[in-house]
Amino acid sequence: MSHSPETSVGRVTIPTINRWKLDGRRLVMTTAYDAVTARIASPIVDILLVGDSVGNVCLGYDNTLPVSVAMMNHHLEAVARTRPAALLVADMPFLSFHLSREDTIRNAGGFLQRGADAVKLEGGARRLEMVRALVDCEIPVMGHLGLTPQSVNMMGGFKVQGQRADDAVRLLDDAHRLQDAGCFAIVLEGIPAELAARATETLTIPTIGIGAGSSCSGQVLVLHDLLGLTEGRRPKFVRTYADGFGLLQNALSQWVADVRGGTFPSTDESYRLPESAAGAVSGWKPSNPN
């Protein structure tokens, strides 16, 4: 099959993201883990992230560390089948970009072969070699700095990062090194707003903030958080736009009450036997009654 220049018309691409950064348009990214969430979010946001947060949001894990490449492939394929118009980014899970350049390229390349437009990976200076290796293979990379959930054990919990002068300076340095290595954007998570603002004004690539204040080039929230579908205490940077959990439980409770009350299904919700078969059914008796 030849690739016509029209192939990507209407889709958000990396050049679109670069142009929007220059135009000062704020980027909006959210997560999608399956076809339903992709169909809900893709027409509305600019970037869809198949995040490794699928581990704690959908799969019941406490954190993202148990998420494997196979799990990511499964969820990415479901999202990609919807052919989203939004730029589709797949998260590199824990240990998928640490072992060797070859392993990293194979894992990330597999994501692109399944429909992702780019990959995202966590970490700064220690990950530069892998970022360069991917960019060398034409695999666009989004960086991720600050409160990087895969580092939960090193951080001693999910804690705001970059609050000490040396940590803040290291983060700025990491952000510039990721840019120099070829990243097309960087997620800044769980850092002081002033630090995110300084990174944003000194970088040429866009920053996408989550718990990083309002000065980033764009914002990302986990879809299930902003729709109120996640249980328990949410971080203070999450603004919840619906009580999704309550709304859905309420709808389900109504159906349960209708079933128990005998009002579901109605005649309109049932199939009818044609007249021609009605007599045969009503007159039928078991051939060997016990």
Our CB check for ligand KIV shows the closer of 146 and 192 to be: 146
Rounded to an integer, what distance in angstroms lies between the CA atom of residue 53 and that of residue 192? 22
Q: Which two structure tokens, joined as six digits, stand for 278?
A: 């009605």
- Rounded least distance, CB 137 to ligand KIV, Å: 22
236 is in an annotated binding site: no
Residues forming contacts to ligand KIV in the complex (CB under 6 A) are 31, 49, 51-53, 91, 187, 210, 220, 222
Asked whether the beta carbons of 14 and 31 are under 8 A apart, the reply is no
Residues that are catalytic: 189
CB closest to ligand KIV, residue no = 51
53 is in an annotated binding site: yes
Asked whether the beta carbons of 119 and 160 are under 8 A apart, the reply is no
Residue 90: partners with Cβ closer than 8 Å, 6 or more residues away:
49, 50, 72, 76, 111, 114, 116, 118, 119, 120
Our CB check for ligand KIV shows the closer of 75 and 114 to be: 75
- Rounded least distance, CB 42 to ligand KIV, Å: 16
Query: Nearest Cα to 75, choosing from 115, 109, 103?
Result: 115
- Rounded least distance, CB 275 to ligand KIV, Å: 57
- Residue type present at position 93: P
Our CB check for ligand KIV shows the closer of 51 and 84 to be: 51
Asked whether the beta carbons of 276 and 262 are under 8 A apart, the reply is no
Our CB check for ligand KIV shows the closer of 131 and 220 to be: 220
Asked whether the beta carbons of 227 and 212 are under 8 A apart, the reply is no
214 is in an annotated binding site: no
Cα-to-chain-centroid distance, residue 168: 26
91 is in an annotated binding site: yes
Binding positions for Mg(2+) are 52, 91, 122
Instruction: Summarize the annotated binding site for 3-methyl-2-oxobutanoate as residue ranges.
Output: 52-53, 91, 120
Question: Which residues does the annotation place in the binding site?
Answer: 52-53, 91, 120, 122
